[in-house]
């Protein structure tokens, strides 16, 4: 919650529309859990975007976790976004432990929790986001091979947990980290150089019935047929436009008892997330850009969508782009949120960064300057957009001054 705080405020909660979208997705999951009478729920981390969430976010999240805990035990693994900048401070979800909320277990430690469900004992190993400082001492962090050492120790810890399991009860691994073979999105740029990427083979073990992972936003299954399922549920809603084409939801896992062996089956359940749409208009040869964009808008179903508009123009026709007319048309089309409007002006190729005459460099934002620079490199629009999205994440990350 709180990764995207745009959108008109909700009349009841006064929370931004996009925050409400994430809560609606959470509600869809809880409704399903109650309706299907599930035995346990595992939340694989990053409940909040920041470790000190706005109290209203916390209230809304907390009410939902309590409702869920009335259905069944709830295990919450601590993700990097939930973690404070210092190991002796509390995480965003520790309050459930402090207040001893029945049926809610916060996975702050590398540990095996034995949980009694309606259908018997379930072992859940929790593996919060591994922090370098926990696995290496200050001397080791400076070693040239510190990344390998870190990875080795995290893998060792995974196998330690395996050795803590009872053979006669099913076991689920619930972790928050990257797997080397996985597909990354914008979340990758947030942890470059500080995260331990775990090879998939370290998680493939007969000891686990199921390996539930969090951290990566894109839902994906990583193991081969016949192996234990290793699955990222993915984020419960779209975090940004890099996830425009991803469906969003959660995983329904069934574990069977076959004479002391506990195989699992799983399925992805969509929460029917808020739809996103990028309207990309190549208008470098148009007489009237606004007219062209309006025609495109009129042909699309944009009702209740989060929309961004990216238009390419030239210096000659750029003045036919009228942003507020386009924005009005989007509103009339029932768009839920205009997430951004960008006019890319194709200029003659330049070999160095040049600003218009009389323009002061200080009036440009860092992102705008990067955009201008990328244009001079003659990169494809798609590539520029990806780079700008990544740059934005890095800048936000620096602004957050997060330690890891």
Q: Which C-beta is closer to Mn ion: that of 39 or that of 82?
A: 82
Binding pattern for the stretch 77-116 against Mn ion, x by CB under 5 A and - elsewhere: --xx------------------------------------
CA distance 309 to 11: 27
Q: Kindly tell me which of 80 and 151 has the beta carbon lying closer to Mn ion.
A: 80
Tokens of 159: 């196998």
Binding-site residue total for Mn ion (CB under 5 A)?
4
Strands (E), 247-293: 249-255, 264-270, 276-282
Residue 80 or residue 286: which is nearer to Mn ion going by CB?
80
For Mn ion, give the closer residue by CB, 2 or 79.
79
Per rule CB under 5 A, is residue 339 in the interface with Mn ion?
no
Closest approach of Mn ion to the CB of residue 103, in Å: 24
Name the minimum Å distance from CB 217 to Mn ion.
Answer: 9
Nearest C-alpha neighbor of 164 from the set 203, 114, 105, 119: 114
Residue placing its CB nearer to Mn ion in the complex, 47 or 302: 47
Q: How far is the CB of 78 from Mn ion (least distance, A)?
A: 10
Contact stretch for Mn ion (CB under 5 A) within 71-79, 161-169, 253-261, 353-361: 71-79
Q: Which residue has the tokens 């194709």?
A: 346
By CB under 5 A, name the one of 21, 39, 46, 60 that touches Mn ion. 46
Give the contact letters, 364-383, x = binds to Mn ion (CB under 5 A), - = no.
--------------------
**Helix residue ranges, H only, 144-235:** 146-163
> 103 — alpha (psi -120 to 50), left (phi > 0) or beta?
left
Q: Which stretch binds Mn ion (CB under 5 A): 16-24, 73-81, 302-310, 331-339?
A: 73-81
Distance CA 181, CA 270 (A): 24
Residues 6+ apart with CB under 8 A from 61: 1, 23, 26, 47, 48, 53
In angstroms, what is the minimal distance from the CB of 191 to Mn ion?
7
| Minimum CB distance to Mn ion smaller for 305 or for 402 | 402
Decide: 36 and 252 in contact? Cβ < 8 Å.
yes
Q: Does 215 bind Mn ion (CB under 5 A)?
A: yes
State in angstroms the smallest separation of the CB of 32 from Mn ion.
23
Cβ closer to Mn ion: 83 or 112? 83
Encoded tokens for 49: 């975007």
Q: How many CB atoms within 10 Å of residue 360?
A: 7
Q: What is the number of the residue whose Cβ is closest to Mn ion?
A: 215
Phi (first) and psi of residue 21, to 5 degrees = -60, -45
Residues 4, 48: contact at Cβ < 8 Å?
no
CA 182 – CA 164 distance, rounded (Å):
27
Q: How far is the CB of 178 from Mn ion (least distance, A)?
A: 9
* Residue closer to Mn ion, measured from CB, 177 or 262: 177
- Using CB under 5 A as the criterion, which residues of the chain lie in contact with Mn ion when the complex forms? 46, 79-80, 215
């Amino acid at each position: 919650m709180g990764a995207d705080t745009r959108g008109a405020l909700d009349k009841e909660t006064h929370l931004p529309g996009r925050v409400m979208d994430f809560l609606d997705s959470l509600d869809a999951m809880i409704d399903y859990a109650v309706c299907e009478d599930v035995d346990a729920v595992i939340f694989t981390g990053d409940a909040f975007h920041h470790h000190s969430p706005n109290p209203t976010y916390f209230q809304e999240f907390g009410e939902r976790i309590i409702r869920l805990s009335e259905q069944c035990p709830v295990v919450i693994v601590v993700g990097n976004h939930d973690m404070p900048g210092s190991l002796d401070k509390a995480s965003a979800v520790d309050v459930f432990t402090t207040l001893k909320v029945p049926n809610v277990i916060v996975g702050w430690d590398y540990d095996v929790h034995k949980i009694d469900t309606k259908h018997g004992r379930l072992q859940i190993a929790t593996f919060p986001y591994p922090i370098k400082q926990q696995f290496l001492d200050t001397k080791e962090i400076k070693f040239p091979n510190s990344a390998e050492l870190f990875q080795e120790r995290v893998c060792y810890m995974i196998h330690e947990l395996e050795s803590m399991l009872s053979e006669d009860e099913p076991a689920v691994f619930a972790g928050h980290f990257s797997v080397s073979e996985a597909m990354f999105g914008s979340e990758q740029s947030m942890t470059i150089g500080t995260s331990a990427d775990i090879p998939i083979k370290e998680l493939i073990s007969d000891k686990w019935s199921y390996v539930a992972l969090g951290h990566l936003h894109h839902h994906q299954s990583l193991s081969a047929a016949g192996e234990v399922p290793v699955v990222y549920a993915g984020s419960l809603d779209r975090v940004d436009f890099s996830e425009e084409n991803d469906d969003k939801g959660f995983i329904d896992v069934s574990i069977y008892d076959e004479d002391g062996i506990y195989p699992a089956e799983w399925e992805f359940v969509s929460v029917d997330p808020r739809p996103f749409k990028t309207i990309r208009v190549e208008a470098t040869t148009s007489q009237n850009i606004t007219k062209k964009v309006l025609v495109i808008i009129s042909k699309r179903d944009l009702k209740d969508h989060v929309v961004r508009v990216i238009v390419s123009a030239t210096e000659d026709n750029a003045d036919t782009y009228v942003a507020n007319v386009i924005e009005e048309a989007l509103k009339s089309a029932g768009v839920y949120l205009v997430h951004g409007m960008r006019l890319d002006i194709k200029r003659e190729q330049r070999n160095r960064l040049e600003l218009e005459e009389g323009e002061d460099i200080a009036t440009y934002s860092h992102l705008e300057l990067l955009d201008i620079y990328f244009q001079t490199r003659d990169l494809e629009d798609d590539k520029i957009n990806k780079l700008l999205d990544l740059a934005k994440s890095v800048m936000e990350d620096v602004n957050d001054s997060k330690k890891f």
